[in-house]
Every structure is written in C-alpha cells, then in structure tokens.
Structure 1
Amino acid sequence: MKRRSCGRGVALLAAAMFLGLPSASCADLSLQDAINLALAQNTSLRITQKGEDTARAQLQQAKIDNGLKITGTESFDTTLKRSSSTDSKNEIGVTASYPLYTSGKAEANIDSGVLGLKAAELSTERSRENLKLDVIKAYYDALEARRTVDVRQETVDKYQDHYTNVSQLYAAGSKARIDVIRSSVELSNAAQDLIKAQNSYEVDLATLRNYLNIDRSEPLNLTSDFSYDQFNIDMDSCIDYAYRNRKDLMIDLYKYQQAENAVKAAKADFGPSVTLSAGPSWSHSFKPATSSDSDITAGATLSWNFWDNGLTRAKVQEAETSRDVAKLTLTKDQEDIDLSLRQAYYNMREAEKRLNSTGDAVKQAEEDYFIAREKYRAGEGLMLDIIDAQEALSTARLNYISAEYDYARYKATVENAMGIELTDQEKEAAAKMTATAAEKAERAVLQEPIAPENAKPDKETKGLAKKAADAAAGEAKAAASHASAQVIQDLAEGEVTK
C-alpha cells in the first residue's frame, strides 16, 4: 500500500495546522493489494490452515500404528500359599512387536489419512477463494458507500442552495412562508440520509480492515473503481466448469472415499491379525529361595475374534451409514452449487441490464431538475416540482451506482461459484502466511507483563495513595481554617448574631 496526504487542498491543510489538528495519512489501497493482504494475514484463514497440520498428524499416527513398537514391563508379585509360605519375584521384560497382518485395517487407516490430508489442503485453498470473494465484496461495498455519500452530499448542497433562494424570495415577498418551511424540512431529511450514508461508509471500511487484518483505525484511500468487464461464458458452461473444478466437491469425494475405508477397517475386525514379537526378559525370585533367570522370546501371535456379541457388526453398520451420508452429501453439494451459480448468474445479468438502462436516466433526471429549478426561480413552477425532480435525480444516480457495483459483485460471485482458482500473484501472497504481527503481539502478551501507556516508574508512584490522602486532608484543613477566619470576621462586623 502506498501512502499519500488525505488533505483536499492547501486551504484545508492550512486550516488543520492553524487549529492544531494532526494531519492524517491515508493508505492507497487497490483491489489487488487488498486481496493479497488478506491472503497473507487473515486470521480466519490461518485457523483453516491449521487443519492441514491436524491432518498430517493423523496420517502420521496411522503410519506409526502400523509400525514397529517397543514396550517395557516390570512386575513384582507375591503369592501366599496354603502352607503359609510366600513366593516373591520381580520380572522385567522388553518386547518389540510388529503387526504383520491386520486383514487390511492398517492399510485402510493409512489411506484415510492420506485422503484427509488432501481434503485439508483443498479446504485451505477453497477458504482462500472464499476470502478473495469476501474482500472483493467488501471493497466494492465501501466504494459504493463512498459514492453514495457523494450523492447525498450533493443533494444536501442543492437543498441548501434552494433553501437560501426560497428564503430570499420570501423576504422579497414573492414566495409564501410554506415554501420556506417545506424547503427546510427537505433539507433536514437530506441531512439525515447523508449521516446514514457516512456511517455506512465507515462500517464498510471497518469490515474491509477486518478482512485485511490491519490497524482497525487506519485511514484508507481506495484507488480501484468499477470498470465494466463483459462476461461472455454461458451458464451451462459455468455449471460444467464448476462440477469439474469446485474444490469442495473434491473434498466431498475424498470424504466419501474415507468413509469407504472406514467400512473396510470395520470389516477387518471379522478377520484374523498376525503380530510378530521378540524380546528379552529377566526374573529374580526372593522367596522361598533367591534365584535369577533370563531368557529371550520370539514368536508370532494369531488373533481372531470369533464372537463379540455383535459389536463388530454394529460398527460395520455405523460405518456403512456414514458412507451413505457422505455420498448423499456429495450429491446435495452438487445441487447447491448448481442453484447458487444459477442465482449469481441471473443476478449478474440483471445488474448488467440495469447498468445499461440507468445511464440515460441520470442525464434525463439532471435535465429535469434544471428545468424545474429555473421555472421555480422564474415564478412559474411549484415547490413540489423541485422536490420531485431532486428526488428523481438522487434515485437515478443511486440506481446507477447500485447497478455498477451489483454487477461487479455478482460477477465475482459467479467466478467463485465456478471454482476459478487464485492467480499466480495471489498464490504467492498466500504462501507468505507465516508468523504475522498479530501472532508476535500475542506471544508478547503471553510472555511479558503489560505496562500502561505513559506509566511512571515505581519509585515515583510508590506511596501515591498516601500522598493523595495527605493532600486531600491538607486541603480540607485549609478550607476549615479559611471558614473559621471568615466567621470571626463576620462576627466582628456584626453580620453573625447567632
């Protein structure tokens, strides 16, 4: 972002210096700069990106669970026999085990971990695309709000000029008092609309700053503006492109495959498992006699659960239901994508038509207002003609502004619904997301105590409460002495009798 002075001119800057006001500095922010900033430091995106770390950890767990394990054991046993004698011994063992065969359960879990990592990576990419759309909408919202403020301000200025003119005509005796009152009311109403528009502009800027994760009070100068860019892709081609490129559909497919692997893992409990194990052990007996022994054991263990009261079958049914839900979710998301894309496409075309039809309406409304104002000044028109013409002009301009930015927003929505990926520049900006200033500030808060701004050293503030109390007591004592002296003076002058 570039910076430049926010002053409108030398006069305003001189006035600010004369009044002692700080001169603000605005950040020049283009739409592309805003997108890149958000992709590099948006907090919600960082949270989503953490899902990749979770998926990697889960994949690592699945691989480790199918690998070599080494465990150590130690026991101390005492046995009391019927003859009242006891046997006591201590045993220590180390065992290395390796799952040789799990009926496909380990392999299914590893495959699920791989699919989960791919789904997490796609989820991050899709979140970046959605963030880009949010930034575009917020940017155009702010631009529309700024131009709405300009229209409202112009309306106030025109009503102000009209009010001044009517007041002069009334003073000259050529207009009635009711015209002055009506003009004042319309000026007040226009001022209310201006206040609301200014507030909306500030709210939209705050929303944009939140997406960018920048200083929430930093002034911004939005340098990009609307430019008509024709969209020449038909709706059926957009939908077909979305089915092939939407990352959330790929995520649904991966989740369905994960559910298939979960069914395989559950069914694996019906089959056998083979585990290889080997390791040394040591034993030491204390009673009735002292002895020591050691050995090395190696072997293979075959486990097969023949009967578990239907537990495995219930797990299989649960996994199959989850698989069916995943398949239905994929179908439902395809239907939602079709609907959302059609809605955005129709809205884009509607805004495009409004854009083409409102351009001439603004020119006609400007001409109508000029005629109504001049007729009124000439004494041939009515106050109602001025009000209607001004309202029509404001409405025409706001409609034109709305059509412009609606088209820009809906076009971006269509491209997002199609699943168009980020540009190379945007991918480069997203790759820079590491430890941002927000994270550094968070670590500083956790590691260091917070000192209030402009706080004095402890040696200067020590005993401050006592000093304040002493000062208050001194002031009270001085006030009492002053009151006593005043009473004595009044008594001497005979003004106090009792």
Structure 2
Amino acid sequence: MKKLALLLAFPLVCYGLTIDEAVEKAVENNLQIKQQEMEIEKSRYQLEQDKNLFMPEFFMDFSYTTMKDTPYTKLPAGSLPFPLSFKQTNKDFRFFDFGINYYIFTGFARIEKIKISKLDIKANRLMLQEQVNTVSAKTKKAYLDVLMARAVVDVYRKQLEAVQKHLERVKEFYKQGLVARIEILQTKVKLSEIQRNLRKAEGELKIAKAVLQNVMNVNESLEVEPVKISLPDTLNIEELYTRALSNRSVIYSLKERVKQINSLEKIELSQFYPKVAAQLKYFYTDQYPYLDPKENYALVLGLQWKFQGAAPYYGYLKRKTENSKLRLRLQEIKNDIKLEVKAAYERFLTAKANLNVAESSLAEAEEYYRMVVEQFKNQLASTTDVLDAESMLTSARKGREISYYQLLKAYVDLEKAVGGSLKDEK
C-alpha cells in the first residue's frame, strides 16, 4: 500500500528548470527556429535539383493521327505518257520516339546555379545561428522576469509577515493601555493594502510564467531555479564592437547573399555564349507507306547561339545594382549592430549603477526600520512611524530585486548584441 501511494505521488513531484535547460528547450521547440530549419532543408532540395542540370534529359513521344481522307499525289500526263497518282501518306498513322538530350555547354549557367544553391544553404544556416542567438536571449530574459516577479512576491510576503507581527504587538500594547485603538485599525488597513499588492504580484508572476511558456512553446507548468551569472568588472566598448562584428551571423549571411548576386551576374552574361547540345534517339512511324525502314536511330549534335539585343547586358547591370544595394544593406546592418551594442552597453552600466544605489538604499532602510521598531517598543515612535518605515523597507527591497534582475537582463541584451558569451571579456 505504501508503494502504491509512493507511485501515485511520484508524478506530482516538480523539478526546477535551470536557465540553460530553458534555453535548450526553447531552441528545440521554438516555431521560428523550426521554420528556419525548413528553409535549410528547402535549400538542400534546391541544390539536388540544380545538380540534375548536368544529367541527361529523357524524353518519349507518341502520337496517333487519323484523317478524313487519304492524301494522294497526282501527276498529270505530260512528263509521263499517262497520268499517275500515288498515296502520299497513310490515312491513319502513328509516330513514336524516345531518347535523351544532353546539354554539353550552357555558358557556365549550370555551374553558377549550383554555387548559388550552396551559398543559399550557408546563408540559411548562418541565419539559423542568428535566430538561435535571438531566441536564447529572449528565453533568458523571460526566465529572469519570472525570477524577478517571484522575488517581488517574496518581498510582499515578508512585508505581510512583518505587519502582522506589528499588529500583534499593537494589540498587546492596546490591552496594556499604551496605544489607542486607532493604531490597530491603521495597521489592519495597511494589511489590506499589502494583501492587494501581494495578489497583484502573484498575478504578475503567473503572467511571467505564461510568457516563458510561450517563448519555449511548452504547455507544462514551469518552476524556475535561482541563477548565478558572473558579471565582468570592466568592459571595453571598442572590443565589444570588434567582437560583435566578428560574431554576428547575420553579417556573414549577408556576405553569402552578396556572393549569390555575383553568380547571378555571371548567369546573365552567360546568355552571350553559344549553347551546345547532343541528342540520341530512336523513332518509328508508319505515316509514309513507301518509307523503309519505318524505324531508325539518330545522333544529333547542335549548336545554338542567340540573344536578344543587349538584354543580357542590362540584366547583368541590374544584378550589379542589386549587388551594390545589398552591400549598402550590409553596411547598414553593421551600423545597426554597433548601435545595438552601444545601447546595451550603456543600459548595462546604468543598471549596474542603479543596483549599487538600490543596495545602499536597502541597507539604510533596514537600519532605519530596525531603529523605528525599537523606538516603538519603547513608546518613542507611533504605528504611523513603523508602517512608514516598513513601507520604505519594502520599497527598498523591491527596488533592489528589480535592479538586480534588470542588471542581469541588461547583461543578456549585451551578450545578444555581441553575439556570444562575454565570460572571457577582460
């Protein structure tokens, strides 16, 4: 019976989810990442399709024709001493052929198309890395939001516990005739306010968990664990710029797109080259009654050279313009990344300074609250003084927790902007 109870209780055990596990699950389940993976798969299929441009082209044709009348050729008397007529074709006939076409030379277009497909795979893989970087940062921030919301709930619970203790103390003093009943009512009003704040904070915690579930694309209940992130003492903005321009996959993805445009330029110019093809086929027809044999084999070598005016050249210039535009876009992306790094860096420094101020304020608020409580015990302070001091302490605690997690979120933003971990940053 005890074993059965243990087994029934086992599914109810809830294990905490670490921030790294959350990121791993988010990367595994995120819908945007799945879509990008499908883009890579699509690019692979395109590459295989383009490789088949070097394969021979198979063909087979069959037709059956029936005519109203049988066509005849009639020769009048003159060239011959008598008129002559003979059947030109059969009234009903069939035609059948099959074989292969092979394009020997197409002006290097096939080679460039394969290059484009390979570059497309590389570009999509790099964009997948960029997507993973974005999703990882988003997941970490959502995870930290849950911890921050939970910390705020704990702050209000501490406040509720402290004010409840004060209420008991006030009631005891009232029994002794040391305070007026109004101080009991004042404390109860404060308790009601704290309970409202606590319920609101608990609601914010549920919302934060729902956001994390949405980012991770999971439905199960989540319990998070505290995080310990080592923050660097100093950061060099110029080194961060250099690292970001070296790490960010979106830059390399655009460079691959530039190479694709280069290949498209060559494809446009390939229209000026002649095309060489070969055909090997078997054919049969009973259309002509006097044709013998009715079946045959043929090998055909052909050369074709055609282009419409300067159209290929202008197509080349169009691709050139696209290339220049993409290079400008690449420079724009680099500028945006530097701006993102700068903004994240400044937010990190601001959050770090804010945390120092918040911790200093918390220490002062704790000391002030301790002194006011002691004064109240000695009848040197009123309930108003205690509740005001406690409110200041709660505000300082809440400010410290929010400042701490805002600092961690700012650090996550900075790592996202740089495109990698900053643990080895000096």
User: TM-score range with shorter-chain normalisation?
Assistant: 0.7 to 0.9
Residue of structure 2 aligned with 1:106, choices 97, 106, 110: 110
Instruction: Kindly indicate whether the alpha-carbon contact (under 8 Å) linking 2:167 and 2:188 is maintained by their aligned counterparts in 1.
Output: yes
Instruction: Kindly indicate whether the alpha-carbon contact (under 8 Å) linking 1:284 and 1:291 is maintained by their aligned counterparts in 2.
Output: no
Residue aligned with 1:409, SS: helix
**Corresponding position of 2:368:** 368
- Structure 2 counterpart of 1:300, which letter? L
For residues 276 and 156 of structure 1, the distance between their equivalents in structure 2, rounded to whole angstroms, comes to 89
**Corresponding position of 1:217:** 220
For residues 229 and 217 of structure 1, the distance between their equivalents in structure 2, rounded to whole angstroms, comes to 32
**Deviations 1:249-292 (Å, cap 9, x if unpaired)?**
0001111211222232233334432222222112122x777976
- Structure 1 counterpart of 2:26, which letter? A
Question: What CA RMSD, in Å, does the superposition of the two structures yield over aligned residues?
Answer: 3.2
**Corresponding position of 1:230:** 232
**Deviations 1:65-124 (Å, cap 9, x if unpaired)?**
233221112223346679688644221112312222222322221111010011122222
For residues 124 and 262 of structure 1, the distance between their equivalents in structure 2, rounded to whole angstroms, comes to 24
Residue aligned with 2:227, SS: coil
Shift of 1:164: 3.9
Unaligned segments of structure 2, at least 5 residues: 73-86
- Structure 2 counterpart of 1:405, which letter? Y
**Deviations 1:33-80 (Å, cap 9, x if unpaired)?**
333343444444333222211110111122212332211122233466
For residues 303 and 231 of structure 1, the distance between their equivalents in structure 2, rounded to whole angstroms, comes to 70
Shift of 1:345: 1.3
**Corresponding position of 1:146:** 150
**Corresponding position of 1:407:** 407
Verify: 1:302 aligned to 2:292, yes or no.
no
**Corresponding position of 1:493:** none
Q: Which moved more, 1:388-397 or 1:224-233?
A: 224-233
- Structure 2 counterpart of 1:359, which letter? E
Q: Which moved more, 1:125-134 or 1:373-382?
A: 373-382
Residue of structure 2 aligned with 1:206, choices 210, 226, 248: 210
**Corresponding position of 2:100:** 96
Verify: 1:31 aligned to 2:32, yes or no.
no
Instruction: Kindly indicate whether the alpha-carbon contact (under 8 Å) linking 1:226 and 1:404 is maintained by their aligned counterparts in 2.
Output: no
**Corresponding position of 1:448:** none
Q: Closer, same or farther in 2 for the Cα pair 1:410/1:213, shift >3 Å? A: same
For residues 37 and 93 of structure 2, the distance between their equivalents in structure 1, rounded to whole angstroms, comes to 54
Q: Which moved more, 1:113-122 or 1:326-335?
A: 326-335
For residues 245 and 95 of structure 1, the distance between their equivalents in structure 2, rounded to whole angstroms, comes to 53
**Corresponding position of 2:282:** 280
Q: Which moved more, 1:353-362 or 1:343-352?
A: 353-362
Instruction: Kindly indicate whether the alpha-carbon contact (under 8 Å) linking 1:284 and 1:292 is maintained by their aligned counterparts in 2.
Output: no
Q: Which moved more, 1:387-396 or 1:375-384?
A: 375-384
Q: Which moved more, 1:146-155 or 1:185-194?
A: 185-194
Shift of 1:385: 2.6
For residues 322 and 171 of structure 1, the distance between their equivalents in structure 2, rounded to whole angstroms, comes to 87
Match runs of 1:168-317 below 5 Å: 168-169=172-173, 174-176=178-180, 178-214=182-218, 216-220=219-223, 222-285=224-287, 293-307=294-308, 312=312, 315-316=315-316
**Corresponding position of 1:426:** none
Unaligned segments of structure 1, at least 5 residues: 1-16, 424-498
Q: Closer, same or farther in 2 for the Cα pair 1:228/1:420, shift >3 Å? A: closer
**Corresponding position of 1:467:** none
For residues 91 and 422 of structure 2, the distance between their equivalents in structure 1, rounded to whole angstroms, comes to 74
Q: Closer, same or farther in 2 for the Cα pair 1:379/1:261, shift >3 Å? A: same
Q: Closer, same or farther in 2 for the Cα pair 1:81/1:326, shift >3 Å? A: farther
- Structure 1 counterpart of 2:364, which letter? Q
Residue aligned with 1:28, SS: coil
**Corresponding position of 1:6:** none
For residues 164 and 322 of structure 1, the distance between their equivalents in structure 2, rounded to whole angstroms, comes to 77
**Corresponding position of 2:52:** 64
For residues 103 and 23 of structure 1, the distance between their equivalents in structure 2, rounded to whole angstroms, comes to 67
Match runs of 1:474-493 below 5 Å: none
For residues 58 and 127 of structure 2, the distance between their equivalents in structure 1, rounded to whole angstroms, comes to 37
Q: Closer, same or farther in 2 for the Cα pair 1:40/1:231, shift >3 Å? A: farther
For residues 261 and 146 of structure 2, the distance between their equivalents in structure 1, rounded to whole angstroms, comes to 44
Instruction: Kindly indicate whether the alpha-carbon contact (under 8 Å) linking 1:112 and 1:261 is maintained by their aligned counterparts in 2.
Output: yes
For residues 129 and 324 of structure 2, the distance between their equivalents in structure 1, rounded to whole angstroms, comes to 26
Q: Which has the higher contact order (CA 8 A, sep 6+)?
A: 2
Instruction: Kindly indicate whether the alpha-carbon contact (under 8 Å) linking 2:271 and 2:307 is maintained by their aligned counterparts in 1.
Output: no
TM-score, L = length of structure 2:
0.82
Residue aligned with 2:16, SS: strand
**Percentage of matched positions with identical amino acids:** 21
Residue aligned with 1:26, SS: coil
Q: Which moved more, 1:117-126 or 1:34-43?
A: 34-43
Match runs of 1:158-177 below 5 Å: 158-169=162-173, 174-176=178-180
Q: Which moved more, 1:142-151 or 1:246-255?
A: 142-151
**Corresponding position of 2:358:** 358
Residue aligned with 2:417, SS: helix
Residue aligned with 2:107, SS: coil
Q: Closer, same or farther in 2 for the Cα pair 1:175/1:270, shift >3 Å? A: farther
Residue aligned with 1:29, SS: coil
For residues 219 and 39 of structure 1, the distance between their equivalents in structure 2, rounded to whole angstroms, comes to 16
**Deviations 1:297-325 (Å, cap 9, x if unpaired)?**
222333333337x7656654553443333
**Deviations 1:428-487 (Å, cap 9, x if unpaired)?**
xxxxxxxxxxxxxxxxxxxxxxxxxxxxxxxxxxxxxxxxxxxxxxxxxxxxxxxxxxxx
Q: Which moved more, 1:60-69 or 1:369-378?
A: 369-378
Instruction: Kindly indicate whether the alpha-carbon contact (under 8 Å) linking 1:129 and 1:421 is maintained by their aligned counterparts in 2.
Output: no
Instruction: Kindly indicate whether the alpha-carbon contact (under 8 Å) linking 2:17 and 2:222 is maintained by their aligned counterparts in 1.
Output: no
